[in-house]
Amino acid sequence: MTSSYLEGQHNALGAFGYNRDGQRGKRQIVIGLLCNSAGRPLSIEVFAGNTQDPKTFRSQLDKVAQCFGGGEITFVGDRGMIKGPQIDALAEQQCHYITAITKPQIETLLAQGTLQLGLFDEDLAEVFGPDGVRYLLRRNPIRADEIARSREENYQTLARAVEVASRYLIDHPRAQPEIALRKLSERASRLPIEAWITLTHQDRRLQLAQNATALAECAKLDGCYVLKTDLAPTAAPKELVHQRYQDLALVEWAFRESKTAHLEMRPLYVRLESRTRGHAFVVMLAYLLIQELARRWCHLNLTVQEGLDQLATLCLTEVHLPGQPVAYQLPTPREALQALLDAARVTLPKKLPTPGPVVATKANLTERRKFI
């Protein structure tokens, strides 16, 4: 099964430019990243900032068909990326999909009887829908514990706020309990835990309690997720479909690396749209270099950042001779640095050419800024 991975992220890069009045402003854009099954980027595309993720899908599908040969390729996208119109477009190209569905969609399928709550377990389960679509169900116990802990921490946070508000009401007879209750309710909504807690007051003391029935209803899908695919079981068993969706994490990691860490895609100060697209393309190429360095340095038990930090200690020697132009020499790297260079198949020159002077006057610098 040949897979392509899609990742789209709003405000992935802050593109800064200038308006007609010469004032610098900020324009948000969307980055579409297409990767293969190994997580290696194949292409990167920039869209306007008001473009929803599903609307970038058709462009990626056409790109795969026209630039990469097409065929029965399976597209893997996270929830919200591959929806009804995108599924129809895939069918037109005889392609397939693997995606996840949202929690409201899971609840709808449970209400319809297509899925049963008892099927959610640590072991992967499979259900065939009436339209021939396969649903893969699983409950991740680790994720379920994380959600439960987070919910309890939010409850304890509100409990401390309730205690502080109660002491304030007791110490300030003119304070109104209704106002305190309204503020605490708003905080419970932001946490959010308002669906399974109750806030009351008696004798100017606020009380917080849990609704066990409502809490159980909120927690019933903790750690549960459902994958959806149109692949036949003979083409891809459920374990393979599950593994392919998990590989989407490689694309998300690539996206994070592009925005932060080594590459720092944002912010970018440019004037022209083409420069923003060019910068995104250069960042994708730089990420490919990071991937390659990670592969070549893995036997050295070093991360890419650690290797780059070691190479940063390599110094350049400036040689001054009477009557001669300044020369630059690279000293022989120490053993640890040479191992990094050998693994990367990089051969350093013994000396570097002397760079010529670069002078930017005020007049031509202003002119150059119009084109970057």
What is the predicted pLDDT for the residue at 295?
A: 87
Global pTM?
0.69
What is the predicted pLDDT for the residue at 371?
A: 53
36-49 pLDDT, tens digit per residue, is 767 777 788 777 76
- Residue 4 makes CB contacts below 8 A (sequence gap 6+) with 34, 35, 36, 37, 42, 60, 64, 73, 74, 75, 76
Kindly tell me if the per-residue pLDDT of 154 is higher than 90: yes
Kindly tell me if the per-residue pLDDT of 264 is higher than 60: no
What is the predicted pLDDT for the residue at 1?
A: 47
Find the mean pLDDT for residues 174-181. 91
**Residue pair 135/114 in contact by the 8 Å Cβ criterion:** yes
Burial per residue of 254-287, b for 16 or more beta-carbon CB atoms within 10 angstroms, e otherwise: bbebbbeeebebbebebeeeebbbebbeebbeeb
Q: In a 10 Å sphere around its CB, with 0-12 CB exposed, 13-18 middle and 19+ buried, how is residue 53 labelled?
A: buried
| Packing angle, helices 273-297 and 248-259, rounded to 10 | 120
pLDDT, greater one: 177 or 328? 177
- From residue 111, give the alpha-carbon distance in Å to each of 27, 62, 114, 157: 43, 37, 8, 34
What is the predicted pLDDT for the residue at 58?
A: 77
Closest CA to 263 of 23, 31, 6: 31
What is the predicted pLDDT for the residue at 13?
A: 28
pLDDT, greater one: 372 or 353? 353
Ranges 52-56, 127-131, 204-208, 260-264: which has the least confidence: 260-264
Find the mean pLDDT for residues 223-249. 88
Kindly tell me if the per-residue pLDDT of 148 is higher than 70: yes
Per CATH, is 3-112+229-289 categorized as 1.10.1660? no
Closest CA to 31 of 18, 20, 50, 45: 45
Kindly tell me if the per-residue pLDDT of 145 is higher than 90: yes
Distance CA 51, CA 142 (A): 35
Average pLDDT value for the chain: 80
What is the predicted pLDDT for the residue at 28?
A: 66
Ranges 112-116, 187-191, 322-326: which has the least confidence: 322-326
Q: In a 10 Å sphere around its CB, with 0-12 CB exposed, 13-18 middle and 19+ buried, how is residue 17 labelled?
A: middle
Domain borders along the chain are 3-112+229-289, 142-219, 315-333+349-372
